Structure 1
Amino acid sequence: MSRRALPYRAPSEDVIDVDTWILVTEDGEVTMPDALPDWDYQMDLHLRRTVRIDVDRARSQSGLPADAALALAAVWTATGSNLSGPASHVRLTGSGTSTVELDIQLRGSDLGGLLLLDTALVLAERRDSTSPSAPRRAGSVLWSDRESLRLQGDAPQFPLAVIDFARTSFPDDAAWHLQISGGLESATMGSLLLLVNERNTCTSTAFERAGRPRPVDRVVLSAVYADAARTLMEHALSLDDFVDDAQFPDGSLGATLMSLFDRLLPGRSITDVRLRQRQNPSLFASDLQAAVKIFEVP
């Protein structure tokens, strides 16, 4: 972990003893991996971590009095959704060693891309009567670390909603609809929404069981994935700004579409694929069907 140069005194690294994050699943607890390739937006995350702080040394090494209130805070940030928020905040007012159990639950619909978990020891209240070199402002960071978890797998991920299509402008009997909005610079999370018709029980049940799908669910999910990939590629190729040398921000719709294009059609130029799609749309659809390996379920 790199150490930032702070404009005030801060405690040494050994004042805080921090365990790794633990991922809590239906099958038990495991050390948080680097990536969750099977994650989707319906999968909420439950994470735990134990942190031990020698609050007396933390105060003294920071030039703070013995009664200075400290706090341990955890904050999450998701690059795919451009969302962030507080995960936990524990006030530390005693002496000796304080043991804090961080236990956080994050909604999958808020996440995506790279999940960043920041843990920090901060000054809980403003101090006016401290030494000139001591932290004064509430929220001054005395110690921090960051862990990350990649949530994007090999398949494109979408925010998902199960609704009754009879209450919308979509055909009552349609099984799903991929809604695309915003430009290529827009965040993927805010630009894509996969709508599933609750009246189509075969499809809605497949998504409900996506974590542990039956063979029939895998077939349905494969069909949705293939159709979504085709819809995304057709949308991308319809945009003049979607070209071979284009650069898009991380987590943007353009970056997602470019990544999907490279994954499905490696080594192909966007110009050539766009020409093929316009000259022979049905053959292009078959190209994508082959690329996504439709119905090749494990």
Structure 2
Amino acid sequence: MSRLALPYRTPPATVVVPEGWRLVLGDEELPLPEALDDWDYQMDVELRRAVRIDVPRARAGAGLPADAVLGLAAIWTATGSNLRGCLRRVPLTGDGVQDIELRGTLRGVDLGGVLTLDTVLVLSGVSSTHAPFAPHRAGSLLWSDQATLRLQGDAPQFPMTVIDFEHTSFPTEAAWHLQIGAHLHSAAMGSLLLLVNERNETVATAFANAGKPRAVDRAVLSMVYADCARIMLEHALQQEQFVDGADFPEDSLGATLTNLFHRLFPGSTVHDLRLRREHSPSLFASELQAATQIFKEA
């Protein structure tokens, strides 16, 4: 394993004693899992962890004076949205051993893909005096660790919102509608939007309970995701540029549809699937139903 070689002194790793990240679900907490299979863009992610820091030892180990201001921060990055931000930042100005809680809530609409959590101890305040080879620039990294949470499972994921279909051009009694762009080279995040009709309490409640779904919620979500997969694949097969070997930009709509195709129909070709849909639509529907494993864990 490679290690980052910094051009200045850093304290021993033992000055920081972190507990593991925990996922907060209502009144319950659980250790951060590898994946959150029931997540969707409607579900915010609340996280917390406790960290104990021996501040005087951290300063001394880095060759910093006693008045140096340190900072502890949790930085998040989401591959699905290409967004990055700070979950929490805490200045460390006192002495002695300090117990810090890093806690915050990330909006589901800002996430997707793999969520990376970097916890970092940095030099916050620049000191006029410092020992040789000691860090002296604000932001100098003194300690860090990293954890990940996969939010994007096998189901197609995209931004969503709950609205009243009464004020739209969609049928008032429809439960949901997937908006999908026509340009395959456009960014996927701006080309897909799942609209859920708030008038349909069964579906709206299922998405509201996505973090802790009941059996009926799992069944509804399974149906929605299967239908969205159908719409996305049918949309792809109608596009002339969606062919075997097509090269679409990363995170584009075309790349998202290509990944979905290969995940649901591994070993098949776009040409063969397009022919089956044209000449045997009922077989195509059944194969897609099987590929999405609808109701498998409902």
**TM-score w.r.t. length of structure 2:** 0.87
Q: Deviation at 1:178?
A: 0.6
Q: Distance in 1 between matches of 2:210 and 2:160?
A: 12
Mean alpha-carbon deviation: is it higher for 218-227 or for 56-65?
Answer: 218-227
Whether contact under 8 Å (1:73, 1:120) holds in the other structure is yes
Residue-by-residue CA offset, 1:85-134 (whole Å, 9 max, x unaligned): 11111111112222211112222222111000011111112334434522
Q: Distance in 1 between matches of 2:107 and 2:133?
A: 41
Residue-by-residue CA offset, 1:25-53 (whole Å, 9 max, x unaligned): 24632211111222222322222211122
**Cα 1:101–1:164 shift into 2, 3 Å:** same
**Cα 1:235–1:171 shift into 2, 3 Å:** same
Q: Distance in 2 between matches of 1:17 and 1:165?
A: 51
SS state of the match for residue 259, structure 2?
helix
Give the corresponding residue for 1:287. 287
* Superposition map of 1:98-177 within 5 A: 98-131=98-131, 133-177=133-177
SS state of the match for residue 194, structure 2?
strand
Give the corresponding residue for 2:92. 92
Mean alpha-carbon deviation: is it higher for 140-149 or for 130-139?
Answer: 130-139
Q: State yes or no: 1:16 paired with 2:2.
A: no
Q: Distance in 1 between matches of 2:192 and 2:88?
A: 29
* Superposition map of 1:198-237 within 5 A: 198-213=198-213, 216-237=216-237
Q: Distance in 2 between matches of 1:208 and 1:39?
A: 11
Q: Where does structure 1 lack aligned partners over 5 or more consecutive residues?
A: none
**Partner amino acid for 2:73?**
A
**Cα 1:185–1:93 shift into 2, 3 Å:** farther
Mean alpha-carbon deviation: is it higher for 73-82 or for 99-108?
Answer: 99-108
Q: State yes or no: 1:78 paired with 2:78.
A: yes
**Cα 1:122–1:218 shift into 2, 3 Å:** closer
**Partner amino acid for 2:206?**
A
Q: Deviation at 1:9?
A: 1.9
Q: Deviation at 1:144?
A: 1.3
Residue-by-residue CA offset, 1:140-176 (whole Å, 9 max, x unaligned): 2111111101111222223221111222232333221
SS state of the match for residue 233, structure 1?
helix
**Cα 1:7–1:258 shift into 2, 3 Å:** same
**Cα 1:206–1:46 shift into 2, 3 Å:** closer
Whether contact under 8 Å (2:120, 2:145) holds in the other structure is yes
Give the corresponding residue for 2:191. 191
**Partner amino acid for 1:70?**
L
Mean alpha-carbon deviation: is it higher for 30-39 or for 279-288?
Answer: 279-288
Whether contact under 8 Å (1:80, 1:187) holds in the other structure is no
Q: Where does structure 2 lack aligned partners over 5 or more consecutive residues?
A: none
**Partner amino acid for 2:164?**
D
Residue-by-residue CA offset, 1:202-230 (whole Å, 9 max, x unaligned): 43233334445555544433332222111
**Cα 1:148–1:254 shift into 2, 3 Å:** farther
Q: Distance in 1 between matches of 2:2 and 2:185?
A: 31
Whether contact under 8 Å (2:56, 2:66) holds in the other structure is yes
Whether contact under 8 Å (1:165, 1:197) holds in the other structure is yes
Q: Distance in 2 between matches of 1:26 and 1:231?
A: 33
Q: Distance in 2 between matches of 1:50 and 1:188?
A: 36
Q: Distance in 2 between matches of 1:227 and 1:169?
A: 20
Q: Distance in 2 between matches of 1:2 and 1:245?
A: 36
Mean alpha-carbon deviation: is it higher for 282-291 or for 164-173?
Answer: 282-291
**Cα 1:96–1:291 shift into 2, 3 Å:** same
Q: Distance in 2 between matches of 1:199 and 1:87?
A: 34
**Partner amino acid for 1:24?**
V
**TM-score w.r.t. length of structure 1:** 0.87
**Partner amino acid for 1:266?**
P
